[in-house]
Structure 1
Amino acid sequence: MSELPPLDGLDVVLAMRQGLLTRHDHVETMFRLGLAVHLVTEDAGAQQDPRYASVRLLPSGSATGALLDAVKDVLHQRDAAFAVTFQETDIEAVGEANAARGVSWSRPVADATARDKARQRAHFAAAGLPTPGHWAIGDRQLTAGLPEVGYPCVVKPTRGASSSHVELVADAAGALRVLAEIRTLAASGQNHFYDQLDDSWALLEEFLPGEEVTCDGVVVDGEFQLGGIHSKVLSPPPFFEEDLYTLPGVDQATEEELTAVMRRLSRSLDLETCLLNAEFRKDTEGRFRLVEFSTRISGGHVYRNIRDAHRIDLVEAFLLAAAGRSAAARAAAARRTPARLATCIRFVYRSGTVAANQVGEAWRHPGFRAYYALAAPGDRIGHAPEGFDICGLLSVWSTPDPAGHPIGIHQLAAEVEALLDIRVD
């Protein structure tokens, strides 16, 4: 990869209440670009990271309003050009802070829509984008009684992430049970999902039984540029725990089809400079429908794996465009190539109390790329139906094998996982 063009000490704000652990590559790109990064976070350990020009520490569990005030304050104090985030729950505050700062490419309405799946569905319908049938649910709807929906259907929170509290139910009794769990989640403020109980805090959604993919890219000068499309493996219903994000994920024709939908989505949101991610799932007739989107890229290893496989650096292109270096941003996006290797992210799930969670001997395997340990010794974790925790994220890579893809790299991921030092009682 070519040397990154410096941005000459340009001051920017990075807002990440949580999630720094799985964004090492994003921060490293900001540092290598020469940005003076002023971090706003709840992670006290970041204060010792020399890549940050300053760190504003927030109390654990800070509300979105407190984050917004802090980001606006740091933007003003440091005379920073703009703020960014790679964390789903922080995009709304960052969008509002950028708008208040007068950042021309900021689209706070799009950010707010991304954070609320009920608003997303309304937007998809207005824009004529292919999406599953859905019904927004709040206290008023519960009082009046559930709408007449087709079962089985999916119940999900409007402001969740990582498929947390998403469940396929067979009847109205099951829907009411999951809705009660989501309402408790919304009232708790857990994981920064909800700051308040919205008029609509859950969705009932048509169940799409086909394959699911996630599409990531960048918008430069109002044009969406594809980064990569991962195929995904989900746990069997009723839960939707994610696993095995694989590149290359689709064939050329499907890539072109989904890229066209992403461009329609980007134009419908009036995006100018933005990271953009969307999830698609096939219906009973084998047609992809748009399930949800976000004005960021997928978390975990996705950013690095797209860079490894397709050569395009999405974070670099976005930051260059955000800083007004449009020509350099377009050149960065134009570096994308067909997949030159295969990559896979394995989601590691466990239930119990963590005794050890580290790389172990896996790093010696030539297919090992990286491991993010998300649970620390002493943590009590659980996967569905006991909880929605992820023990860790493993990334592997290999030379392309079209005849055996993706089975070969899925087997490789299992082989490398067995070498991790994970002990859960």
Structure 2
Amino acid sequence: LTLDLRDPGRAAGQIAAFAAKHPLHAIIPTDDETAVVAAAASARLGLPHNPPEAARAARRKDELRRILHAARVQTPRYSVMTLDHDPAASALKQGFPVVLKPTFLAASRGVIRADNPEQFVAAFRRIEALLHEPDILGKGGDAARLIVAEEFVPGVEVAVEGLLIGGRLKVLALFDKPDPLDGPFFEETIYVTPSRLAAGIQDAIATTTASAGRALGLREGPVHAELRVNDRGPWLIELAARSIGGLCSRALRFGTGLSLEEVVLMHALGRSVEEIQREPRPAGVMMIPIPHAGVLRGVSGVAAARRVPASTTSRSAPPSAGRSCRCRRDRRTSASSSRARTARRRSRAPCGRRTPGCRSRSSPTPNPSRVLALRGQAARNPATPINLCGMLVASIGSARSDGRRADHERGIIHLMSHILFICSGNTCRSPMAAGIARRIFGQSHLIVSAGAGTSGGDGAATNAASGRIMCERPEGTPQAAGRCVK
């Protein structure tokens, strides 16, 4: 099933038609864009969901600011400019420092601080160039012509990972960000939990986050919020109707070892998560420091880090240096390695040949599913491609006997949580998860959406029932609109 995320109504209709043949019990979005489609589809199917307009407002920074100001939730003052505005004239109306950002992008892409009119114009032009990137134009629609300018809020920054249950916020984790994040770019560096802030401040942060969720109309599912705290209290900077991005969720474990994704899926499937608490031990995430723009070539020192007592170290290996190739079934290897030779033999064509499902590239872009620091790199270089997360649809097969139902659901939760995690990177397009689903749980279904407006052209989807990778263009998409990356 291939979905065009630019048209949530149509995508929701496709999911509803799919659900008529394959009953669904939960729809879980994994990024800002799929949250709108998930809400629309869940509304059609009568599943617990956020109102589609609430999910849409959470994705749009201009709408978020407007709604929060109307609800008197403390948030920065702002103004909205179109790309037709004269930035030099707009700069004369601003107070400084000010932060410029696109209205709909994530991972700090295009978020730039300006301290004077000259920096304001430079930031405007840099964001303007970013918004003219073809994949962003298709992804943002009218929003790709807007830029938000908002006051810079000094203070310490925190991140809230939470779950909305019938409109009530359950805080799953509060992360401190100990490094000063003062710009001009705002790449992430370090997350640590539990927070070292005073209990009263933590309560105020939770209250502000909950108030923002109510103001938007969000009621169910994961939320990820970014706030700043100073002598005036917490300021809501961002609120997304999804869980934390990238690989950061690996730092969190709940109850007897549940992952964040399992908790989200348990809630979506109607299981009680009220009593679940994060494990009583500190955890942290460190993004790879980004001293300047470039290509990540390797990571060293991991073995030494793993020898630190009482620590657990996890990393995801970056692509090899040198010329690389993405061949069939999402293989990506160094052309000089034995793995590359094996991949070429299996694909029946050398990586340098222009064959379906195989592309050569002399200067590889880091794979977001393997590189923890992509958010930081994107902040330094807003033109860095950000890959798209997918949308998961979890289905519990009704043919199971009641005696085995609980074990089956637990197995589905484990399976789907792993797929959800994998889908935070390019491996959404890998057949591995689909093959596991086909062999173990024939009645489970996975939809991975990478529609025409988001993948630069064709959409790619994994069918868990058959374990196949399917590529097709959504109706109305011209042949030259792009390619389907398998």
TM-score, normalised to structure 2, is 0.59
Uncovered stretches (5+) of structure 2, i.e. residues with no partner: 323-363, 367-376, 387-486
Give the corresponding residue for 1:135: 79
Aligned residues of 1:216 and 1:297 also touching (Cα < 8 A): yes
Please say if 1:161 is aligned against 2:99. Answer: no
Write the letter of the residue equivalent to 2:23: D
Match of 2:287, SS? strand
Match of 2:43, SS? helix
Partners in 2 of 1:377 and 1:100 — Cα distance? Answer: 47
Deviating more after overlay: 308-317 vs 204-213: 308-317
Give the corresponding residue for 1:51: none
Give the corresponding residue for 2:54: 110
Partners in 2 of 1:388 and 1:211 — Cα distance? Answer: 28
1:68 aligned to which of 7, 11, 35: 11
Partners in 2 of 1:256 and 1:312 — Cα distance? Answer: 25
Say if 1:286 and 1:97 are closer, same or farther in 2 by CA, change over 3 A.
same
Alignment of 1:165-180 (within 5 A): 165-180=110-125
Shift of 1:229: 0.8
Give the corresponding residue for 2:276: 335
Give the corresponding residue for 2:266: 320
Alignment of 1:19-418 (within 5 A): 56=1, 63-65=5-7, 68=11, 71-139=15-83, 141-142=85-86, 145-146=89-90, 148-190=93-135, 194-198=139-143, 201-232=146-177, 233-249=179-195, 250-283=197-230, 285-307=231-253, 314-323=260-269, 325=270, 328-329=271-272, 332-336=273-277, 340-350=280-290, 351-357=293-299, 360-361=302-303, 364-366=306-308, 367-373=311-317, 377-378=321-322, 379-380=364-365, 385-386=380-381
Aligned residues of 1:311 and 1:335 also touching (Cα < 8 A): no
Partners in 2 of 1:295 and 1:335 — Cα distance? Answer: 20
Aligned residues of 2:110 and 2:127 also touching (Cα < 8 A): yes
Say if 1:86 and 1:227 are closer, same or farther in 2 by CA, change over 3 A.
same
Aligned residues of 2:172 and 2:277 also touching (Cα < 8 A): yes
Aligned residues of 1:136 and 1:200 also touching (Cα < 8 A): no
Match of 1:203, SS? strand
More strand by percentage: 1
Shift of 1:242: 0.8
Give the corresponding residue for 2:482: none
Deviating more after overlay: 298-307 vs 166-175: 298-307
Say if 1:161 and 1:359 are closer, same or farther in 2 by CA, change over 3 A.
farther
Aligned residues of 1:215 and 1:228 also touching (Cα < 8 A): yes
Partners in 2 of 1:370 and 1:271 — Cα distance? Answer: 33
Say if 1:231 and 1:211 are closer, same or farther in 2 by CA, change over 3 A.
same
Aligned residues of 1:352 and 1:380 also touching (Cα < 8 A): no
Write the letter of the residue equivalent to 2:235: R
Between the aligned residues of both structures, percent identity stands at: 20
Say if 1:375 and 1:145 are closer, same or farther in 2 by CA, change over 3 A.
farther
Partners in 1 of 2:50 and 2:379 — Cα distance? Answer: 37
Partners in 2 of 1:160 and 1:302 — Cα distance? Answer: 19
Shift of 1:209: 1.7
Q: What does the per-residue CA deviation read over 1:285-323, in whole Å, with 9 as the maximum and x for residues that have no partner?
A: 352211110011111344342325997865444433333
Match of 1:215, SS? strand
- How many residues are aligned here? 326
Shift of 1:336: 1.8
Say if 1:307 and 1:177 are closer, same or farther in 2 by CA, change over 3 A.
same
Shift of 1:246: 0.6
Partners in 1 of 2:248 and 2:224 — Cα distance? Answer: 11
Partners in 2 of 1:193 and 1:129 — Cα distance? Answer: 32
Write the letter of the residue equivalent to 2:163: V
Say if 1:189 and 1:94 are closer, same or farther in 2 by CA, change over 3 A.
farther
Uncovered stretches (5+) of structure 1, i.e. residues with no partner: 1-55, 392-425
Partners in 1 of 2:138 and 2:194 — Cα distance? Answer: 31
Partners in 1 of 2:35 and 2:109 — Cα distance? Answer: 18
Match of 1:99, SS? helix
Write the letter of the residue equivalent to 1:242: E
Partners in 2 of 1:76 and 1:359 — Cα distance? Answer: 52
Q: What does the per-residue CA deviation read over 1:187-235, in whole Å, with 9 as the maximum and x for residues that have no partner?
A: 3244688331328621111111211001111011221111111011355
Bigger Cα Rg = 2
Shift of 1:133: 1.1
Say if 1:104 and 1:387 are closer, same or farther in 2 by CA, change over 3 A.
closer
Match of 2:155, SS? coil
Aligned residues of 2:114 and 2:120 also touching (Cα < 8 A): yes
Match of 2:212, SS? helix
Aligned residues of 1:213 and 1:231 also touching (Cα < 8 A): yes
Deviating more after overlay: 203-212 vs 66-75: 66-75
